[in-house]
Structure 1
Amino acid sequence: MDEALLRSLIPGVITVLVRRGADFAAAEDAVQEALIEALRHWPAEPSPGSAGPAEPLRDAKGWLITVAWRRFLDATRADTARRRREDLAEEEPAPGPAPAVDDTLQLYFLCAHPSLTPASAVALTLRAVGGLTTRQIARAYLVPEATMAQRISRAKRTVSGVRFDRPGDVATVLRVLYLVFNEGYSGDIDLAAEAIRLTRQLAARVDHPEVAGLLALMLLHHARRAARTAADGSLVPLAEQDRGRWDTALIAEGVRILQAALARDRLGEFQAQAAVAALHADAPTARETDWAQIVEWYDELTRLTDSPVVRLNRAVAVGEAEGPDAGLAALSGLDAALPRYTAVAAYLHERRGDLTTAARLYSEAAHLAPHLAERDHLTRQAARLNARRQR
């Protein structure tokens, strides 16, 4: 049985059990046990006499529902609430194809419940909607498996009493998926690719321009991935990337999705961010980037979000479009404690020709950088300018 097929079925199986009366934590545990049994007993090519479904694509969901429901009932009968729960088992459904009802969307909303912290919402989404194991999620986030297991258990307990009859908040779901994407790659799970897979899944279920905007944004950023690092693992800034290594198919898809979303005239944050990414992707060289239009899109983003991070990025764009002095003026009204503030100030001072100040700021930014690759890049920038000053 194809493991990817099994993972795609997990959300629907969980929500079927929840609708029948299982709480979320118990349903998720039962489905995980059913998956283990499936992986253990199903042959790669099921035969009529095998333990798995004869026609996997049609029957696998029904098989998993039946097995998971039995596991849930077994656990329930052993619990102190046996009598209260046994009413749920009056008539166990017969094995066979599951109804063609898609409950995945409600599971997205449940995993992005406002009572959860962002970290817990991300972990629960990867587990329940993405079908990843606790070990895989822990490796991706570089934390001990026991730590991630506790985080997921707390999240499941938090949402166990939440009913499925409340409208979900698409904005919160998108924010969770955006957090997953920004984790990028670490360990044996490519979280950026996983976020794109989940967002494609959501886009197939929700006709909303911001869902399309987020998918377009992810595709446009992911298209540059191969060019972002050198052979030695060091970061390559956007202006220095080999654009021949960008994935033109992903760029074309992202632009097409974005154009369709913008045509609906319901502009949102992710559409505006995607528009900026599209302008970068459209430029044959860094020098040909339409910075004036990028500034306009950052003005839209500022109106939509009033985010200091957006204002920081806008200062960079202003510096490119109107010169470093204008960029520094745009930067001056922001909090110097913002992430990347010092690195942006260093870049603009370098553009202005003040190499002494720029080198000092690059060195300071390196000490503030949260990731080793970024720290190394900023340290090299400082060293480069110091070497130029000594010539």
Structure 2
Amino acid sequence: MPVLMRARSREEAHRAATPLELFFDLCFVVAIAQAGRQLVHALAEGHPGHGIVGYLMLFFAIWLAWLNFSWFSSAYDTDDALYRVVTLVQISGVLILAAGVPRAFGAGDFRVVWFGYLVMRLALVSQWLRAAHGTRGTERSTALRYALGVTLCQVGWLALLFLPPGDAPWVFLVMGALELSVPVIAELPRQTSWHPHHIAERYGLFTIIVLGETVSAATVAVQSALDEHHDLGTLLPIAAGGLLLVFAAYWIYFAVPIHLHLRSNRQAFLWGYGHYLVFCSAAAIGAGIEIAVEQSSGRAHLPAYAAAACVTVPGALYMFTVWLIHSRHQKRGPAQQLVLPVSAGLILAGTFAGPAAVPVAGLVAAATVAVGVTLTARQGTALEEE
């Protein structure tokens, strides 16, 4: 007999991600890899408009699926048998979604993606209905609002199946706005009891997974180029610069304890939604490194500066977005506040370095970490002296 699903306490000590949550996150690697691979193919073949728009849409679908589960589990994870089975059903939906990414990207056929979402959404709605059954009053009202909102949005996504493929971006804009409004409306009666430390850890773990996929994609690209007997002297700077950029991305994200900032939905919604750009740009760095490798080996049909922009634009976007929604809340003084925005500008300017853009971006990112560590150490020394 399953237990009643009760909200977990926000004050719960030592709350950490569960093995099931880690397994759930790892299954998203497949979908992220598929989206990145399609972006690389589109850019390498000289179709940047189609590639970027398609990547932004499909990454939104991937991110939204992860978002829905993560915030629910932070508030209502009972970890009993029924909860685990329903979560495994959601994972099945993620894998169906991943299988449909190439078809959606290339031909605008979203049927498999939509069906994967249907599987995930039916499971998620059942979880919210179970939460409503185990609660009462405003908490029950919040759970029912979530169940209704998620159901209506899933019906709304049917527009992707009946409208021409060219209308897909507009469908994503409208439905994306409606999806993001569901938590805002649902939690008007009462805020769900998501756990600040737990949700911060969940976002941190997903950041690691995305950066890991970036490293994997770049490694495969370099290996493929080497197998075709391309010059190691050309590939080594790209590989080293890309690695420095990814290492710095990791360091910068985890330099601050963000859970102290997440006091209510007012902070959490902006922080949580803003991570779409953090995750999206982090994954795109790997695709950009692949493009740089392919361009250096003559397999990409785009100019050197365009190939450079495939790395510098997502790299700069990552630095700026991490500062805007994440790091600036823990920075003190203008010097610390300016480090990441200036770094973003310098990485973007590195586009004009052409073939040397990746090592330049890597060196700028490494210097950013060094400056940040130095400023933090000096601030700590000054506070001790006071």
Q: Relative contact order: is structure 1 or structure 2 higher (C-alpha 8 Å, sep ≥ 6)?
A: 2
TM exceeds 0.5?
no
Question: Please, what TM-score do these two structures have when normalized by structure 2?
Answer: 0.32
* Structure whose residues are more often helix by fraction: 2
The structure having more radius of gyration, on CA atoms, is: 1
